[in-house]
Amino acid sequence: MSQSTIHATLLWVVRRDLTLAMRRRSDVTTTLFFFVIVVSLFPFGVGPELNMLRSMAPGVVWVSALLASMLSLNLLFHSDYIDGTLEQMLLIPQPLSVVVIGKVIGHWLVSGVPLVLIAPLLGLQYDLPGETLLVLAGSLLLGTPVLSLVGAIGAALTLGLRGGGVLLSLLVLPLYIPVLIFGAGAVEASLAGMGVQAYFSLLGAVLIVSIFFAPWATAFALRVSLE
């Protein structure tokens, strides 16, 4: 099977999912609005104490991003499962993992990238310095693809199950913990004036491992769910 055919299939899946996402803008904006509202509520509840706001900012932003990403995980395969498109995708000559990668990229572009772009603006509410805002954006840029990749495994395992949303949360949340620790740790290290290279290296390592293993695990889970 030629590389050009695989690339064409990958691009087709990404374009298709982006087109469908633009037609369902409410689903896309819900994730972003949830992230903005949750991050913005904490300064009102805590008060104007800047030292406290700065110390809690890394955890608040990262937990909010994690929860916002989970809101859209059900959309990864559910609509294609309902209308039968997913079963047709199983019949194409290209590996199912290629389709999974395309759908994960599409999910990250519509749910992860907006969080990366808006996070530095929200970080201003916590009086974060400019360098720390860049670290925050960088950690999210490395971490949010992992959330989509790992979340795809959970979405595939719970596909078609009654109450799958709750089960999906229980499956995915423990796997998100390393990303949360390393991502928030990078921002905390920047605030403390320490180096962030170690945290970024760990995030990059988790991302590489996820890229290698998550698509195949998701493809296997999809085949099991559709049988």
Averaged pLDDT, groups of 10, the chain, 227 residues long: 75 86 78 90 80 87 90 79 77 82 91 91 88 93 94 86 72 89 93 89 95 91 80
pTM given for the model? 0.89
SS3 per-residue string spanning 30-43: HHHHHHHHHHHHHH
> Which residues lie below 8 Å from residue 9, measured CB to CB, with a gap of 6+?
92, 94, 98, 99, 102
CB atoms within 10 A of CB 214: 24
Say which residue the tokens 């904006």 belong to: 29
- The predicted-structure confidence for 144-164, as pLDDT tens digits, reads as follows 999 999 999 988 888 877 666
